[in-house]
Each structure stands twice: as C-alpha cells, then as structure tokens.
Chain A
Amino acid sequence: MKISVLLAVVFSAVAFCNVDDEIIGIWQLKLPGNVTGTINYRKDSTFVTSVNNKIFTSGKYTYKDKVMTFVEDNGCRSNDGNYMTGKYRINFFAPDSIEFELVYDSCGGRRKDLNQLKLGRPGKDKIK
C-alpha cells in the first residue's frame, strides 16, 4: 500500500512537471576565433541570441513536444516583407546538450546556420 502511494505521488509529480520548460534559459556554443554564441529562451515566449555579448537576433517562439517554432523580429524576411518562420526539432542528446534538426525553414542562411547546430548549457563542457 505504502509503495503504491509513493508511486502515485512520484507519477503525479512527474505529470505536473512542464516538460516544455526544459528549453527555458541560456544555451551556448563556442566557435573558432574566441567567439561565443548564446540563445536565451525566456518564459514569456521571447528569445534573444547574442554573439560575444552583442545582440544578434530576437523574436518569439513556441516550444511543444520538442519542436521549436519561431519568428525573428530582425533578419529573415521574404520578398513580400513577411518574417519567415523556422521550425526545428530539438534533440536532447544529454539533459544539458541539444541539437537543432530542421523541420522547415525557408530562410536559407538561417537554415544553414541552425540545422545540426549543437549547444549546451553555459559552464558545461559537453559540446565538443
């Protein structure tokens, strides 16, 4: 009886954890030439990216079932002036290491940069 109560509590706790919060916070990668890039996914569904502490892009995102959909407020725009949406699956190959996998992105330059991009949490040396 005690074990089943314990299991029920554990399962309930897990059920109420918002798995989609796993993406919230700062992700980082190191590039050659002493360059550090970061993405900060905020709780209010906005994000910013930076390169060496300089703002790079910003915008809005949604994240559900490990799929990231976003639109930047600077950068990729189509010829008719609309901002291009990007959609990527986020693969966690460790709890603090992710890889972007292209689902859909009509912005060629961004697709080239983001597809298969790997990032980690700052301070962790998981990404080689």
Chain B
Amino acid sequence: MEDLEKIKSNRLVLPAVLIICFAVLQAGISITGPVTKAELGRLLFFDRILSADRTVSCASCHLPEYAFSDTMVTSIGIGKQKGLRNTPSAMNLNLQRAFFWDGRSKTIEEQALVPIENATEMNLPIAEAVRRLQRSKRYSAWFRDVFHAPPSRENLAESLGAFERSLETSDTPFDNWKLNDDQDAVSESAKKGFVLFNGKGKCVQCHFGADFTTNEFRNIGLFNGLNLNDSGRSAITGKQEDIGKFKVGSLRNIAVTAPYMHNGMFKTLEDVIDFYNNPAGIVSNAINRDELLSGSLNLTEGEKKDLKAFMVALTDKRFEYLTRKH
C-alpha cells in the first residue's frame, strides 16, 4: 500500500514541475536567473516585494502594454491612495536630463528609488527594501551573480535604472519614413501633420529632438492658483519664474499614453490639440503662461486631424495595435 502511495505521489511530481516551469517561462523569468543588470531590474520592476504591504510594484502604475504609462488620470498606489500627478511613460528615458514632471531627480537611478519610498505609491523605506532583498535567497543569489555583491541601495537603483534604460523605442512609421526613405510608411495626412508640427502648430519649439522633447520646463497655461494649483517646477527650484512649469514630455508613443499633461486633464489627443489651438479658451485665467502660447493657432479641423495623424505615427510597432482605434 505504501509503495502504491509512493508511486502515486511520484506521478504528480513531473507534471507539477512542468507546470511550474511553464509558469516561470510565461513570466519571462530565466530559470537560470538574470544575467544582466537590466534583467535583474526587470524582475524587480514587476515584483511587489518593493512595496510595504507587497501589493504594488512599479509595473502597477507603469503598464507595459501602454508604453509603461497608466491609463488613469492619476494612479492608485498602496492602500488604494490616489497619486497627485499623471504617471508618465517610463520609456525613452535615456536621452532625458531630468525626471518626474518637476524634474526633481537628475538621473534615472535616483528617480527609480523615489516611488518605492513615496508614501502614496509603494511606501517602503529603501533600507527596508534592501533588507527584504538581502533576506530573499533568490534575490541574494541574483545580486551576487550580477553585481558580485549583496543587495544594496546603489545596486538596487542601478538595476532598476538599467531596466528603464533598456525601454527605448524607435521602430515607428515616422522613423521608417525618414530614416529609410519609405514614402509609404506614413499617410499623406501624417506628412501634412509633420509640416504643421514644424510650422503653424509651433509644436517643434518645445517638442524637438530624438524623443520629441527639448527637455525643458515650460508653463503651457495649466496653472491658475485655483482649481489648477500644482506649481510644478517652482516647488523644486523655489523660483517665482518657474511657477506652473512642468517638464516637456516625450511624444514617442503619445497615442497610447492617454490621459495627458501632469494632471491627466486631457483625455484624448483631440483635447490636447484643441487646447494648444486656443489655450486661453480652455484655461482663461492661467498664471505665467509661456509667450509661445499667447494666441490661437487657428487650426482648421483638417489640420487638427493631420497633426493627430503625425503624432499617431510616432507609435512604436509593438503598440500599433492600440492605435487602430484612432
């Protein structure tokens, strides 16, 4: 009888092992463990071990399927708390010079640790996060393999930063059109939109560069000290002239990272274009608005569609399926 029980339990082992292996492979985890800092960072990015009650990971707000942004106006963090600002995309950070809407972090590595400690996001002091990783046999082994050292604040930041640095996208219809001279890569409407973007729309004056951002801080007229009272960059610099300024965001994958702006107030690209077309018509009492946005652009409905078509053409191939509804 005992032999029969042994045989039965042994028969269950192989299927159980196969199921576990399948689950591990589906999760994208290497059975042999991470080999690079970016691979280790990827594991950490998706792991809820980095939040106080183990319910939230970085990926809870930076959704991979939406270019690592969120679809909510502001994200929900630990204990179902609402964040204060819209979650920006964590993609295409390599060429940026400051991080967060107010630019409070100077490097990706510095930025990576902030949400972990933030009380409304993951609420876990870094020292405690490091202790957890050190107590974990898996993470201790992985950090040893990658860094030849136990988990620490520095290599936690480095691995998360390495993963975020790997999130670059450049396989878009627009890049294909320009770099490969493929005239069929974008629509005629998108081509007209490109001309508008650089001309009548004046978009290029802030959205210039490989990631369509000059990396500056600008006040586009979304601060009035009343219902729009996030003072942005000035809270970091203490300078009056920085009131209402926020980091100019990248436009890569913009079609899949709604809602828009630091407060998520614009739900669609059409809303954004309507705002830029007539900023004072949307926010009449803005304080310290940039002179670039002092008047109306007088865009026709056709021109607005063309501008949108151009922005949709900045979507990486991996997210193109999301733009089919545009």
Contacts and interface: CB of A to CB of B under 8 A. Distances in A.
Q: Do chains A and B stick together as partners?
A: yes
A52 B209 CA distance: 12
A58 B199 CA distance: 15
A51 B204 CA distance: 17
Interface residues of B, number: 20
Contacts, number: 50
Contacts of B95: 35, 51-52
Interface stretch (A73-81, A98-106, A116-124): A73-81
Interface string A36-54: 0000101000101011111
A19 interface: no
Given A35-B95, A73-B198, A53 B175 contact: yes
Nearest to A56: B210
B170 A52 contact: yes
A74 B204 contact: yes
B168 interface: yes
B178 A48 contact: yes
A55 B174 contact: yes
B198 A52 contact: no
Nearest to A81: B199
A52 B94 contact: yes
A55 B199 contact: no
A56 B252 CA distance: 12
Interface string B232-267: 000000000000000000001000000000000000
Interface residues of A, number: 20
Contacts of B211: 54
Contact of B208 (A40, A42, A75, A81): A75
Contacts of A74: 194, 197-198, 204, 208
A46 B178 CA distance: 10
B181 interface: yes
A33 interface: yes
Interface in A65-83: 73-75, 77, 81
Nearest to A44: B181
A63 B179 CA distance: 20
A52 B210 contact: yes
B198 to A, nearest CB: 5
Nearest to B198: A74
B37 to A, nearest CB: 13
Interface string B172-201: 001100110100000000000011011100
A55 B210 contact: yes
A73 B196 CA distance: 11
Contact of A56 (B197, B198, B209): B209
Contacts of A56: 209-210
Interface of A: 33-35, 40, 42, 46, 48, 50-56, 58, 73-75, 77, 81
11 contacts: A33-B94, A51-B210, A54-B210, A54-B252, A55-B175, A58-B178, A73-B195, A74-B208, A75-B204, A77-B204, A81-B199
Given A46-B181, A52-B168, 19 more contacts: A48-B178, A50-B179, A51-B95, A51-B209, A53-B179, A54-B168, A54-B170, A54-B175, A54-B252, A55-B174, A55-B178, A73-B194, A73-B198, A74-B197, A74-B198, A74-B204, A75-B198, A75-B204, A81-B199
In the A-B complex, the 10 residue pairs with the closest CB atoms: A51-B210, A54-B210, A55-B178, A54-B170, A74-B198, A53-B170, A56-B210, A55-B175, A58-B178, A48-B178
